[in-house]
Amino acid sequence: MAGIVSYGAYIPIHRLPRELMAKAWGTRSSGGERSVSNYDEDSLTMAVEAAFDCLHGHDKKKIGGLFFASTTSPYKEKQSAVLAARTVDLGQEIVTADFAGTLRAGTTALGAALDTVLAGRQDNILVTASDVRLGYPNSDAEQAFGDAAASLMIGNSPVIAEIEARLSLADEITDVWRTDEDTFVRSWEDRWVIGHGYTKNIQDAVNTLLQRAKLKAADFAKVIFSAPDARSYQALGQSLGFTAAQLQDPLLSTVGSTGTAHPLLLLVAALETAEPGDRLLLAGYGDGCDAFILRVTPEIEKVKGKKGVKGHLASKRPLATYEKYLAYRRMLSWPEREPLRLFPAATAMWRDRPSVLSLHGSRCRKCGTISFPIQRVCYECQSVDDYEEAPLAGKLGKLFTYCLDNLAGGLEPPTVQSIVDMDGGGRIYCLMTDNDPNQVKVEMPLEMTFRRLYEGAGFHNYFWKCRPVR
């Protein structure tokens, strides 16, 4: 039996009321709010957050691969799955792959992970999907989109949701697209996109799959489709014979349409409330459709410690202005105030991967002192080259001291320069993010988060920051 072993999700803390977007342009608001990734977040950092949530309580040594799905990967030529795998501290003898180019890349990655497990190549594959899509300013898409990530672990045991059947359809249709030169998502006329693309493809896939599985609409507790808008989502469900109660909340009024992550994010939300024996239907759309039938097992009752969709929805901070959103997405410029910008070398980044990416410190074998970054000489007992690596990601800490820096450049002055004492030992100097400077105080509880520092030397520079515990 193969299926879902664990799940996780990530929704950025910032929310933008759509009425602010409408007010800025003098247009109509579609209502509710959308999630907005911070200026130091991208599809990779959000995927890492969801992966950590999914891995909670599981042995990373048993993970045999990581598949990353996104239409907004930070690199056009460089595998993001490897970078994510190193950051969440997986082993080296694993299989990795990026899935891109279509909004159903998340469900396609899910199918590929299932194939890998069923073939016996690996016992567990981590699938993580994430997107930060941009709609043209003053467009319906700009209001409709949201930023988020979801992660699923696919394996043989212990399975919380067995994948009973699946079907994939491919359909060449120019409905939604983006070229290398495009910053914003393009789309054809709405009726064409919905009628001949979204609705027809999911209808064909679902009807065929149910017929082959000898099931009917009433056999399902929850139905999960990717959703471009609420009206199309509800109309599609009704056309297939599903009731409003069976349709999973598409999260459009609280998060938005989250691209490749959307069907997996909704599946995570469904699993959070699922009961043993529930049958779920999942369908992802984009240049065709991937459809899955899942059966929830009693193992679902053992899932603990996930922030998931519920936890992240409950933790939020509204953006005060639409202009702030534009600045986060680099559509507005701001003056650079740093006197000097240092660009690291690729060789230095490679050498320091354990500390920079995996957040490993060194633990002295003689006295147990933990240092960060990794140090050859123990500052406590001065022993040399007698240490083991100490993982610090996932641990909580407390703010030892800080400085509010109003002279450093950035979108969120003042910059909170922080020194964090980690639980169990280790002291880290880093920046603080997702914070209100007026609420920062010594001894406040903090957690570490993987973020993008800046772009330099032609590549993205990532490192860890601290943030108030969500």
pLDDT above 70 as % of the chain:
97
Distance CA 27, CA 294 (A): 42
pLDDT tens, residue by residue, 37-69: 999 999 999 999 999 999 999 999 999 999 999
CB atoms inside a 10 Å sphere around CB 27 = 13
Cα maximum dimension of the chain: 72
pLDDT band at residue 190, thresholds of 50, 70 and 90? confident
User: What's the pLDDT score for residue 341?
Assistant: 57
Contact criterion met (CB below 8 Å) for 393 and 466: no
Buried/exposed code over 333-364 (b: 16+ C-beta within 10 A; e: otherwise): eeeeeeeeeeeeeeeebeeeebbbbbbbbbbb
Range in 196-200, 284-288, 410-414 the model is least confident about: 410-414
- The pLDDT value recorded for residue 373 is 96
Which H or E run contains 81?
Answer: helix 80-87
The whole-number pLDDT of residue 15 equals: 98
pLDDT-wise least confident of 333-342, 377-386, 402-411: 333-342
**Amino acid 52: pLDDT:** 98
pLDDT score for 145: 98
Q: How many helices (H) and strands (E) does the chain have?
A: 13, 22
Tell me: pLDDT of 112 over 50: yes
Q: Which of 415, 414, 470 is nearest to 444 (CA)?
A: 470
Q: For 136-187, how does the pLDDT look when each residue is reduced to its tens digit (9 = 90+)? A: 999 999 999 999 999 999 999 899 999 999 999 999 999 999 999 999 999 9
Q: How far apart are CA 401 and CA 398, in angstroms?
A: 9
User: Is 209 a residue whose pLDDT tops 70?
Assistant: yes
CA distances from 164 to 159, 167, 210, 214, 253 (A): 12, 11, 11, 12, 31
* Domain 3-328 in CATH 3.40.47.10: yes
Where do the domains of the chain lie? 3-328, 346-468
Mean of pLDDT over the chain: 95
- Cβ proximity of 136 and 184 under 8 Å: yes
Mean pLDDT, range 335-351, rounded to an integer: 69
- What's the pLDDT at 413? 87
Q: Give the lowest-confidence range in 21-25, 405-409, 439-443.
A: 405-409
Q: Is 191 exposed, middle or buried (0-12, 13-18, 19+ CB in 10 A)?
A: exposed
**Two structure tokens written together for 268:** 């995570």
Question: Per-residue pLDDT averaged across 103-119, rounded?
Answer: 97
What tokens were used for 18?
Answer: 């759509």
Q: Which residue type sits at 268?
A: V
Q: How far apart, in whole angstroms, are the C-alpha atoms of residue 173 and residue 459?
A: 34
Backbone φ and ψ for 170, nearest 5 degrees, come out as -110, 140
| Residues 295-320, mean pLDDT to the nearest whole number | 96
The rounded Cα 63 to chain-centroid distance in angstroms is 18
The share of the chain scoring above pLDDT 90, in percent, equals: 90
Q: How confident is the model at residue 339 (pLDDT cuts 50, 70, 90)?
A: very low
* Residues linked to residue 401 through DSSP beta bridges, in sequence order: 419
Asked whether 449 and 336 are in contact (CB, 8 A), the reply is no
Please check whether residue 446 is in contact with residue 420, taking contact to mean a CB–CB distance below 8 angstroms.
yes
* Cβ(64)–Cβ(125) below 8 Å: yes
Query: Which residues on adjacent β-strands are paired with residue 117?
Result: none
The answer to whether residues 362 and 377 touch, using CB atoms and an 8 Å cutoff, is no
Q: Residue 351 pLDDT more than 80? A: yes
Q: What is the pTM of this model?
A: 0.96
